Chain A
Amino acid sequence: MIKYSIKRIFSLIPVIFAISIILFGLNKIMPGDPVNMMIPTSAKPEQKEQLRKEITEQLGLDKSLPEQYIAWVSNVAKGDLGYSTWKNDDVKNVIADPLKNTVILNFFVLLLALSISILAGIRSAIKKNSIIDQFWQVFSLVCMSVPTFFIGLCLVYIFALTLKWLPSNGMPADLNNIGQWVRYMILPVLTLTITSLAGTIRYVRNAMLDALSQDYIRTARSKGLSEKVVVYSHAFRNALIPIVTVVIAQISTLFSGSMITEAVFVWNGLGQVLLTALNRRDGFLVIAMNMFYAIVYLASNFIADITYALVDPRIKLD
């Protein structure tokens, strides 16, 4: 497995390079001039020319595209992700807090969504066609059909504006107050959890139904094993492979999908930063964010492959 892991990591390197070249190129052909965005419109004409010259030189935009790309790659290797023309600050400083906020949000979403979806999915499969099963089926269908922002706004309307139990949006004013963090996180976490539950429950249910219909389950039951052992030790373990695929895919989707929820709840996360960076033509920030999402996606695929081997001893990685 270690050999396989190392081989996979090395094989990711050219993929990452290829993605970086594509992103860099796409950013350069995007309409709009980042230098113009940095020059305040109130600048005097002669001041503007001087500013343009300064900014172009500072950002290295007077060099050819390959030179710019090589300079950017070598800076990234040194930990310098570039300069944000929107925030007039280094990219790594700009994304530090939003990255932390998005990870915190998505961590709890993943925890909650996984726990509920696995338990609910197993329950639904065991009690097929029961009221519980039908409830989760309808729930999944409704939540898959409704846009995320709508779910968010409904929760805001009920819990914040009508019942006044929770704040509508924003983040805690006191970052050291855990209680405040919990209050502000409940609604965005609920919104994202509901959205991700929708698909995952059905997947778990179907994977379990498939596993429960196998011959080895009949054998296990006929051997007199308890239903708990049959379901969790035999059926669930075999159902894990497709479930792992979905769950790992969710990790990358959550990061990119939380953009809308962050906008609804004014949560200072990566999604918001990316949206604003695109609108402001902040090239380095856009590239850094997209590279991050690409790496998260590649990493989650890699983790999925490793997890298969852990979950299913029949799978040999070499």
Chain B
Amino acid sequence: MKKLLTLFVAGLMGVSLVGCGSGDSKKDTLVVAATEMNGDFIDGFGNSSYDLEIKNVLHNYYITYDNDAEGNFVTNKTILDGEPVATKNADGSKTYTFKIKKGLKWSNGSDLTAKDFVFNILLSASDEWVAALAADTMGEGLTGYAKYHAGLSSQEEGGVADIVYKRETDKKIQKANAADNEVKVSDMYDKDGYELDSEGKRIPLLGFQTDENGDPLYDANGELVPEYREKKGDNGTFEGVKLNGDYEFSATIAADKLPYFFEKSYVAFYPKPMTYLAGKDAKIESSEKGATLVGVDLNDVAQKTKSEYRTNPKVTSGPYKLISFKNKQVKLTKNKYFKGDYEGHKPSIPNILVKTVNQKTDMDQLLAGEVDVLTGVVEGKKIEKAKKNSSVKASSYARNGYGNVPIHNDFGATKDPAVRRALNYILDKDNIIQTVLGGYGSTVYGDYGTAQWMYQENKEAVESELNHYTYNIENANKELDSTEWKFEADGVTPWDVTKAEKTKDYYRYNAQKQPLTINHLGTEDNTVTDALETEFLKNSPKVGIKFSIERTDFAGLMDNYYNAAQKPEAQRKYNTFNMATGFTPVYDPWSQGSFASIYAGTSLNPTNTKDAELDKLMQEMRNLEPDQHEEFSKAWLAFQKRFNEIVPEIPVYANEYFDFYNADLKGFKTGPMSSWSEIICNVSWAE
């Protein structure tokens, strides 16, 4: 009896504890589901889309030129006192002058002024920022950026010389490179791994001056002329930015960067808290030569920003401020000093909790009311389940991007555009959309998203003039018959399609008796990889392609996709991959480097596309004034046609995204260019 009583009391205590811990009231807190957050809450670090949402609500609202729901640049009248003044200079550059409104404050109540904008430019564009292992910069289009960003100086300014030589310490790669060049390893590398030229001199990589052809410059003694860099403690001066007073600053876009259709992207600045990050002694000195940060070592500021501010940005300007990031949850609370988004809207929901959930149960959690917002749902089953439930509503839109099969254009059989076109023909994209997306998606035929205004304006032309590459084995074979792979195994007898219909291992060969081989790399536990495997393995024998598919983890995929061109050919294996791409309001495939020849061989052009015609069309698209809307639209169409012709990658599907939310929420209208973090000021609980 005693035992029973004890057990009963213990159980009662347990129930009461459980009942007590029910958490915040629904109306106070909006719970948003996320998949993985790394804690990189400032620009320059990380690539998690969930971290990006947090960055947005913390930092990116006080931006001089914001984007509306359609992706157009709009002046942020909440923070700017009048329209920025754009002045064309005699040398072809253009100066934008910004007047900041008085009364703006950081989340800790301190004043937010023009110096905070200039400070962020000086920090994010500096070589010290690079040394802190940050990637993204600000101020890229401004005069003097290259010098400031590289930390260059001159001997007169007290700069120091620092030449970096080409080096490879991995013995395996040394061997492979030497084999590629048909030389001995000892002839190609010295004992420390430095690469040698034909005269036995170390090959310089960075830190030297070049002549007009871009070749290393040597002095009369045959010595390399070094570039001089800022000495330690010297913060450098950024020519293109000036602080004109407490509430005014200016930025000058370099002449060689103009004209540029997305010109405003060069002068879309947001601030960082200078006093908080650099200390009270830090000041900005500004003159005709430009702006410089004094009173503090920029290197220390960059390191502090990276080590402390990055994961715990306590002083911010956005509608919400960070309370904590612990145990895969981010707690945010309203910033009472926030003046509003570019339209003056302020947030009404007091708190936001962004929590990591299990993707297998995320929809069930939404329907059970454990989370209020679940975004980016693409699986057909989940969408159907949610649609049947009246406790949630959906904001759906065409994804601003697409799932694709990127192709290494410089490797193996896929060097030939005809082979790439053939691969496009044997992929039944409609089937993939049905099986993977449950029908919630569409096909695209170029590098575009259906939400983009350029597509909307050229829809008829795109649909009628671009090749849809609808599944067609005959067309695929026609393409391959025009390549070197038109023989049987003996390298002489013409390949016969009727034999391919009868046997699975009847491959195409070239005159050197090499089979037409395509190796694909995808990720594990990925329905797209599974669908591609089904399609390619089923259809490739019909066109004589020896197709193989392997799976790896995300790190392996990234390494093989982005860094393959830096490896010797003998170490490369894969021709195709499955990835996805997304667009920002700035559609510029040249500067984003995706297909520009100058970036071939680097991770900026991972497909290693080198097409002079495509380069020309990308340049035509970007070298326009911002108001040349029609010209841009025409150039965009021409670019898409060329892209569609050479197929540097295969666009497979453009999803329809569903952002589901608690039906008690008002104003939740997300879109292809506006995620929840960008419309949060319009969202409230229904009364």
Q: Mark A residues whose CB is within 8 Å of B.
A: 31-33, 36-51, 53-55, 62, 86-89, 97, 101, 153, 156, 160-161, 164-175, 177-183, 186, 263-266, 268, 279-281
A193 to B206, CA, bound (A): 59
| B23 and A180 within 8 A (CB) | yes
- Which of chain B's residues has its CB closest to A160's CB? B368
- Which of chain A's residues has its CB closest to B331's CB? A173
What residues of B have a CB within 8 angstroms of the CB of A183 in the complex? 18, 21-22
Given A41-B558, A168-B365, do A173 and B604 touch, yes or no (CB 8 Å)?
A: no
The minimal Cβ–Cβ distance linking A263 to chain B, given in whole angstroms, is 8
Interface string of B9-38 (1 = CB under 8 A from A): 000001001111111100000000000001
- Which of chain A's residues has its CB closest to B562's CB? A41
| B603 and A41 within 8 A (CB) | yes
| A153 and B353 within 8 A (CB) | no
| A168 and B364 within 8 A (CB) | yes
Give the one of B310, B327, B328, B558 with max A CB within 10 A.
B327
Give the one of A33, A179, A268 with max B CB within 10 A.
A179
- Which of chain B's residues has its CB closest to A85's CB? B133
| B360 and A153 within 8 A (CB) | yes
Interface contact tally, CB-CB below 8 A: 159
A173 to B361, CA, bound (A): 19
- Which of chain B's residues has its CB closest to A272's CB? B328
Q: Mark B residues whose CB is within 8 Å of A.
A: 14, 17-24, 38-40, 45-47, 127, 130-131, 133, 135-136, 150, 164, 169, 205-206, 306-307, 310-311, 326-329, 331, 353, 355-358, 360-361, 364-365, 368-370, 553-556, 558-559, 562-563, 593, 599, 602-604, 606
| B358 and A169 within 8 A (CB) | yes
What residues of A have a CB within 8 angstroms of the CB of B558 in the complex? 36-37, 41
The minimal Cβ–Cβ distance linking B483 to chain A, given in whole angstroms, is 31
The minimal Cβ–Cβ distance linking A259 to chain B, given in whole angstroms, is 14
| B21 and A173 within 8 A (CB) | no
| A49 and B311 within 8 A (CB) | no
A88 to B563, CA, bound (A): 22
| A265 and B358 within 8 A (CB) | yes
What residues of A have a CB within 8 angstroms of the CB of B40 in the complex? 88
Q: What are 9 A-to-B residue pairs whose CB atoms are below 8 Å?
A: A33-B563, A88-B307, A173-B329, A175-B326, A177-B21, A179-B20, A179-B22, A180-B21, A268-B326
Besides A42-B47, A179-B19, 15 more A-B contacts (Cβ < 8 Å) are A32-B556, A39-B133, A41-B603, A42-B604, A45-B602, A153-B360, A169-B358, A170-B329, A173-B24, A173-B353, A182-B14, A186-B18, A263-B358, A266-B355, A279-B555
A279 to B553, CA, bound (A): 7
A51 to B563, CA, bound (A): 15
Given A40-B135, A46-B206, do A171 and B603 touch, yes or no (CB 8 Å)?
A: no
| B555 and A32 within 8 A (CB) | yes
What residues of A have a CB within 8 angstroms of the CB of B135 in the complex? 39-40, 42-43, 47, 51
A164 to B18, CA, bound (A): 12
| B133 and A51 within 8 A (CB) | yes
| A97 and B603 within 8 A (CB) | no
| A41 and B47 within 8 A (CB) | yes
What residues of B have a CB within 8 angstroms of the CB of A88 in the complex? 40, 45, 133, 306-307, 310
What residues of A have a CB within 8 angstroms of the CB of B327 in the complex? 97, 101, 171-172, 175, 268
Partner of B555, one of A37, A41, A97, A171: A37
- Which of chain B's residues has its CB closest to A38's CB? B133
A46 to B164, CA, bound (A): 12
Given A41-B562, A265-B358, do A87 and B39 touch, yes or no (CB 8 Å)?
A: yes
What residues of A have a CB within 8 angstroms of the CB of B127 in the complex? 50
The minimal Cβ–Cβ distance linking B314 to chain A, given in whole angstroms, is 17
A87 to B310, CA, bound (A): 11
Give the one of A42, A54, A164, A263 with max B CB within 10 A.
A42
| B361 and A156 within 8 A (CB) | yes
Given A37-B555, A281-B555, do A182 and B38 touch, yes or no (CB 8 Å)?
A: no
| A50 and B206 within 8 A (CB) | yes
A88 to B41, CA, bound (A): 12
| A171 and B130 within 8 A (CB) | no
What residues of A have a CB within 8 angstroms of the CB of B357 in the complex? 168-170, 266
What residues of A have a CB within 8 angstroms of the CB of B370 in the complex? 160, 167-168
The minimal Cβ–Cβ distance linking A292 to chain B, given in whole angstroms, is 19
The minimal Cβ–Cβ distance linking B388 to chain A, given in whole angstroms, is 15
What residues of B have a CB within 8 angstroms of the CB of A167 in the complex? 370
The minimal Cβ–Cβ distance linking A36 to chain B, given in whole angstroms, is 6
| A36 and B164 within 8 A (CB) | no
Give the one of A38, A40, A87, A156 with max B CB within 10 A.
A40
| B133 and A181 within 8 A (CB) | no
A32 to B555, CA, bound (A): 7
Given A49-B205, A168-B364, do A182 and B563 touch, yes or no (CB 8 Å)?
A: no
- Which of chain A's residues has its CB closest to B21's CB? A179
A268 to B368, CA, bound (A): 22
Given A89-B311, A168-B361, A265-B358, do A33 and B559 touch, yes or no (CB 8 Å)?
A: yes
| B328 and A170 within 8 A (CB) | yes
Give the one of A44, A153, A178 with max B CB within 10 A.
A44
